[in-house]
Structure 1
Amino acid sequence: MFSRLGRFVVKQPWLVIGVWLIAIIAVVATAPKLTATTDQSDFLPSHYESIQAMELQQKAFPNSNTPAALIVFERTDGAPLTDSDVATVQAAAGKLDDLHLKDVLKVQAAPAADNRSIQIAAVAMTKVTSQGDTKQTDAVKALRTALKDQTNGTDLKAGVTGAAAQQLDQQESGNNALAIIGIATIALILILLLVIFRSPVIAFLPIIVIGVVSLGVNGLIAMVSKAFDLKVDSSVQSLLIVVLFGVGTDYILFLMFRYRERLRAGEDPKTAMVSAVTRVGEAISSAAAAVIIAFGALMLSTLGMFRSLGPALAIAVAVALLAGLTLVPAIVSLLGTKVFWPSKAWKQEPTGARFASVGAALGKRPGVFAVASGGVLLALGIVAFGFNPTFDLSSSSTSDTSESTVYSKELLKGEPAGTTQPSQVYLRTDGAELTAEQLTAYRQALTGVSGVGQVSEPKLSTDKSVAEYQVTLNDTPESDAALATIKGPLRDTAHSAAPPGSTAVVGGMTSVFVDFKAAMNRDYSVVFPVAAVLIMLVLGLLLRSLVAPWYLIASVFLGFAATLGAAVLVFQHIQGNSGLIFTLPLIMYLFVVALGTDYNILMVARLREEAREGHDPHKAAAEAVKHTGPTIAAAGLILAGTFASMMLAGNTALSQMGFAISVGIGIAAFVMAMFFTPSVTALIGRRAWWPGHGGDADPAISLEKQDWDDPRWSQPDSARR
């Protein structure tokens, strides 16, 4: 199949390029805009309590205006507020309210904190009604501008924090991160490809090809998201950049290394390209299939953010694969050996023997390499048991200097930590009116819960059958302590203290995080095993073996554990953070498990190829490392480097993702695929290919001796034997 594909592409390069351009233009012209949401509640199913509370609030209090933002005032010298300062704050809030800024419904100052360190003003805003709605974030921009005029010439300083302000700062930080990641990724790919191939043509080839292809990818994702009503998380565009450029460059590298190898073997450029597509086509298609399956398995997640992220990234990988097998060969077949210009190094084998010597050592002592590499993975994997998820999205998704982050910390000087995002408790009956005695007793019960700082007077619905209590926790809304308060004593008390004939639900962002945690624990037990089974099936079909898939998938998941352990070691133990961003294990799964399988497949496919050429298992391992080692090293270095660029984004969430994924790719390439897989395969010997005949010599005709016009190229493998 791949030999036929290679022949067609090489014979009809302009047709292939033309079809690609027409398809991309058509998709871009017809696709809707790809928009993302930062509202985590968009991703939870309706049976969770936090979502039930949100739905009840929308029905019972459709015009409820919980403060979307908070203005925090304090003295510039850090001293307690004076009576004059308090009067100035009251006047400033009144003037801001009188401005009637667009989508700002009310600005109202609260009394100064008991210790007079700060004073806040609550800001009610027009509700956000749809994904991508910018009413509140635009209002925050206008409010911040107007606020400067109110503090100029006074002894006060002020800033805007709260949910809407945090969302604005997250968006701005995300846009900056996107630009940084894009520039760093492209620069890294250019530099590394220039070093590897010493040719600006090859260096710019993946940048141009993937850059054009990405336009079509975004359009396809937007189409699929709209067709199936998928909620796209705000991080998807950052991930798309590194997936497209990282994975796409990997597939191009696999092809170009084999193309150069065939040229050095004496084949003419067209024959060499057909040979390259034929020889790496099955390997990279299987690798891409494993990645697509791993991403696709996320559709089994209960969380909408992962159900949409999986298909989005699967589409990106599928398009990158298709481009690597058709568009790139078409372009290179037109350029011929000019693709290596001005370097002449492609004409002869490199003099360096690093991978040859490593391969020879591994072939002689596979047991030593297996124990050493496996020991490294196991040691780091043990550290992973200390993983603690954190839900601090507001500060981890923005820089420490953003206004919302700075003033959310200043808020803690005088108010309970949960003031920025209070929780809500809704008490409801089947239609009967709630009495004053019931409301008072219920409020007292909530006030007595450990971890609760304040409970507001109840607000009643029009028919007095639903009461809303604003509950301010003593801890920041995303902290472990706040989650424990909601999950345990607050929900327990809210349910048990409800008067006869009534029920209660607890809502708010902390409640959403509690349900997120429960949903993710469920997803771990479903998505990971399903993905493992499906990837094993791909490996079994590729290798025609029932043995190899077991130790290959075991090595991949051992690499996953080692990666998580490395992240825990650096961020929790060395840097002293309370935990890692809660989505990190699933994000790591996306890339370390899926892409780690890529490198394993590339190495084991070469192992099988060397075995089929008549080499014994030890010699096959040595030859596989010698020939495939440089490809995996280059691809791993580029892919790890592209993800490492996320660490330049300036916020904790992307830094943790960038570190973990880049380390995971490094482990997958330089520990797992380079040493562990070939050494274990050498130890198992020909039994690794049972019940197939991957370890037996293949009498098929030698590709090196075939002219690309030989009619046997168009025949199936069975007909060429």
Structure 2
Amino acid sequence: MFARLGRVVVHHPWKVIGLWVVAIVAVLASAPEFSSTTDQSAFLPSHYESIQAMKLQEKAFPQNSAPAALIVVARQDGAPLSEADSASVLATSTELAGEHVKGVTGVHATPPSENRLIQVIAVQMDKVTNPADKTQGDAVKELREQLKQRVEGTELKAGITGLAASTLDQTESSEKGMAIIGIATIVLILVLLLVIFRSPVIALLPIVVIGAISGTVGGLIAMAAKAFDLEMDTSVNSILLVVLFGVGTDYILFLMFRYRERLRAGEDPKTAMVSAVARVGEAITSAAAAVIIAFMALVLSSLGMFRALGPALAIAVAVALVAGLTLVPAVVSLLGTKVFWPSKAWRNEPKSARFGAIGNAMGRRPGLFAAVSGGVLVLLSVLAIGFNPTFDLSSGSTSDASESVVYNKELLKGMPAGATQPSDVLLHSPGGALTADQLADFRAALVQVPGVGQVGQPQLSGDKTIADFQVTLTDAPESDAALDTVAGPLRDIAHAAAPEGTTSVVGGITSVYVDFKDAMNHDYKIVFPVAAILIMIVLALLLRSLVAPWYLMASVFLGFGATLGATVLVFQHFQGNSGLIFTMPVIMYLFVVALGTDYNILMVARLREEAQEGRSPREAAALSLRHTGPTVAAAGIILAGTFASMMLAGNNTLSQMGFAISVGIAIAAFVMAMFFTPALTALIGRAAWWPGRADRGKGGDPKPGKYAETYYNPEYSGVVESWSGQTWSNTGQRRE
């Protein structure tokens, strides 16, 4: 099938390129606008308590919402606010309200804090869930300008924090970070491909091709989101950028290495490209299928953000695969050997002395290689036990010098940490109006909850059947301590203290995070096993084996554990962070398990190919490492380097993601695929291919005059062999 595809593409390159141009234009012209949301509650199913509380609150208090921004005012000398200072704050509040800033629905000054170190002006804004809507961000910018003018020349200082301000600062920080990531990714790909192929043409090939198809990917994702009503998280765009360039470059690299190999075997350029597509097409397609299946398994998630992210990334990989098997061969077939210009190195077979020597050493002692590489994976995996998921992202997602961070610290001088986003406890009496005694007793119970700083007076709905108690926690709303308070004593006491005939639910952003954590733990038990089973089916079909998929998947999950352990070691133990971002296991699943399987498939596919040509298990492992090792190494360096560029963005969240993914891919390429998997295959021997017949060659048992001349001599470090169509040439020794 792939040989036929290669012939069609190579002999009709202009038609293939034309079809791609038509497809790109058609998708861009018909695709709806891509939209995403920052509202985390939009991703949770309706049965979770935080969502029930949100719906009850919207029903009873449609105009009520927590302030979108908080203007924090304090004295420059740090002294308590005087009566004159407080009057000045009230005047400022009135003046800002009179400016009628677009998107601002209310500006209200609150009394000074008990210690009078700060005074807050609460700013209500229109609710925004679409990141494309810049209303809140623009409002914060204008308020900051107005505020600066009003405190200039006074003894007061003021700044804006709260959700809207934090979101603005984080967005600006992320935009700068993504610009750095984009530039670093392109530069890295250019430099590494120049070093590997010594050709600017090949170095530019992935940039041009992937850049051309990126719009198509975005359009197809927007179509899928609209067709299936998927809620896209704002992180989709940044992840797509890295996935497209990383995976797309890998697939192009796999193809070009095999193309160069066939040219060196004496084939003309067009025949060499047909052979490259025929030989590597099945491996690339199987690898992409494993990645797509892993991504699509996320549709089983109970969280909307992952249900949408899975198909989005699957579409990106599918388009990258089709481009790698059609568009790239079409372009290269037009260029021929000029694709390597100005280098002439493609004409000469490299000695590959390093990979040849390592391969021969592994062929002699596969048990040692398996034990050492497996030991490294197990040792790092043990450290994963200390993993602590955290939702405390604000401190790491923007600069400490940003206004929202600086004035959040000022806010804490006079108010509990949870003041920026209070929780809401709603008491509901379906049978009739709530009484004053019921409200007083219930509030008294909430005040006694450990971790609760303040409990406001209840706000009653029009029919007095629903009461909203605003609860300010002593800890920051996204902190581990706040999550523990809501998940434990606050919910427990709120439920238990509800008067007979009433029910209570706890809402707010902290409650949403608590439910997120519960939903993710539920998803791990479903998504990961289903993905593993489906990937094993792909491996079984590719390798025609029921044995190999088991130890291949075992090695992949060892790689997963090792990656998580390494990340825990660096960020929790060395840097002293309280935990890793809560999505880390899913991020690693997406990139380490799914993409790391690529390298396993590439190496094992070559192992099977060598076995089909009559090699013994140890010889097949040695030669696979010699031939495929450089490809895996180059692809691993490029993909790991691409993700490592995220560490340049300047915030802890992206640093954790970049480190984990890049280290995971490096482990998958340089430990798992290059050593652990081939060494295990050599140890298991011919049983690895059961019930298939890969070890007996394409034509049955080795035939005298062909395969008998090629055999593995562990004492000879320069085994070189090539198939020229009819005979084998071999620098090894004749079998006695």
Q: Report the TM-score when normalising by structure 1.
A: 0.96
Distance apart, 1:431 and its partner CA: 4.8
Contact 1:38 1:167 in 2 (8 A): no
| DSSP 3-state at the match of 1:293 | helix
Q: Match of 2:157? A: 157
- Farther off after superposition, 143-152 or 195-204: 143-152
* Separation of aligned partners in 1, 2:314 and 2:164: 32
1:326–1:300: structure 2 CA closer, same or farther, 3 Å change rule? same
* Separation of aligned partners in 1, 2:129 and 2:579: 33
Cα displacement string for residues 164-219 of structure 1 (whole angstroms, at most 9, x for unaligned residues): 11222222222222222111111100000000000000000000000010110000
Distance apart, 1:567 and its partner CA: 0.5
Distance apart, 1:76 and its partner CA: 2.6
Cα displacement string for residues 513-533 of structure 1 (whole angstroms, at most 9, x for unaligned residues): 000000000001000000000
Q: Which runs of 5+ in 2 are unaligned?
A: 701-705, 708-721, 727-736
Please tell me the residue identity of whatever aligns with 1:183: I
Distance apart, 1:109 and its partner CA: 1.8
Q: Match of 2:138? A: 138
Q: Match of 1:719? A: none
Please tell me the residue identity of whatever aligns with 1:600: N
Cα displacement string for residues 84-133 of structure 1 (whole angstroms, at most 9, x for unaligned residues): 33232222222112212112122222222222332211111122366744
| DSSP 3-state at the match of 2:394 | helix
Contact 1:225 1:231 in 2 (8 A): yes
Q: Match of 1:124? A: 124
The aligned runs of 1:159-308 (5 Å cut-off) are: 159-308=159-308
Q: Match of 1:593? A: 593
Cα displacement string for residues 306-330 of structure 1 (whole angstroms, at most 9, x for unaligned residues): 0000000000000000000000000
Cα displacement string for residues 29-51 of structure 1 (whole angstroms, at most 9, x for unaligned residues): 11112122121111100000000
Please tell me the residue identity of whatever aligns with 1:231: E
| DSSP 3-state at the match of 2:686 | helix
Q: Match of 1:605? A: 605
Q: Match of 1:465? A: 465
Distance apart, 1:651 and its partner CA: 1.8
For the pair 1:565 / 2:574, whether they are aligned, the reply is: no
Q: Match of 1:717? A: none
Please tell me the residue identity of whatever aligns with 1:120: V
Q: Match of 2:510? A: 510
* Separation of aligned partners in 1, 2:49 and 2:396: 26
> What CA RMSD, in Å, does the superposition of the two structures yield over aligned residues?
1.6
* Separation of aligned partners in 1, 2:510 and 2:680: 47
Q: Match of 2:147? A: 147
Contact 2:41 2:51 in 1 (8 A): yes
Please tell me the residue identity of whatever aligns with 1:405: V
The aligned runs of 1:412-427 (5 Å cut-off) are: 412-427=412-427
Contact 2:39 2:129 in 1 (8 A): no
The aligned runs of 1:318-717 (5 Å cut-off) are: 318-699=318-699
| DSSP 3-state at the match of 2:695 | coil
| DSSP 3-state at the match of 2:485 | helix
Distance apart, 1:614 and its partner CA: 1.3
* Separation of aligned partners in 2, 1:400 and 1:37: 25
- Farther off after superposition, 278-287 or 483-492: 483-492
* Separation of aligned partners in 2, 1:569 and 1:43: 31
Q: Match of 1:112? A: 112
| DSSP 3-state at the match of 2:414 | coil
- Farther off after superposition, 24-33 or 548-557: 24-33
| DSSP 3-state at the match of 2:696 | coil
Please tell me the residue identity of whatever aligns with 1:594: A
* Separation of aligned partners in 2, 1:585 and 1:222: 26
Distance apart, 1:77 and its partner CA: 3.2
Please tell me the residue identity of whatever aligns with 2:363: G
* Separation of aligned partners in 2, 1:343 and 1:423: 65
Please tell me the residue identity of whatever aligns with 1:412: L
Contact 1:181 1:238 in 2 (8 A): no
Please tell me the residue identity of whatever aligns with 1:688: A
Please tell me the residue identity of whatever aligns with 2:453: G
Distance apart, 1:158 and its partner CA: 1.6
Cα displacement string for residues 670-707 of structure 1 (whole angstroms, at most 9, x for unaligned residues): 00001000100000011100000111122399996569
Distance apart, 1:501 and its partner CA: 1.5
* Separation of aligned partners in 1, 2:723 and 2:279: 11
Cα displacement string for residues 529-561 of structure 1 (whole angstroms, at most 9, x for unaligned residues): 000000000000000001100000000000000
Q: Report the TM-score when normalising by structure 2.
A: 0.94
* Separation of aligned partners in 1, 2:134 and 2:458: 30
Aligned positions, number: 707
* Separation of aligned partners in 1, 2:418 and 2:534: 44
| DSSP 3-state at the match of 1:478 | coil
Q: Match of 1:4? A: 4
* Separation of aligned partners in 1, 2:420 and 2:533: 44
Please tell me the residue identity of whatever aligns with 2:350: P
- Farther off after superposition, 73-82 or 587-596: 73-82
Contact 2:232 2:305 in 1 (8 A): yes
Contact 2:392 2:480 in 1 (8 A): no
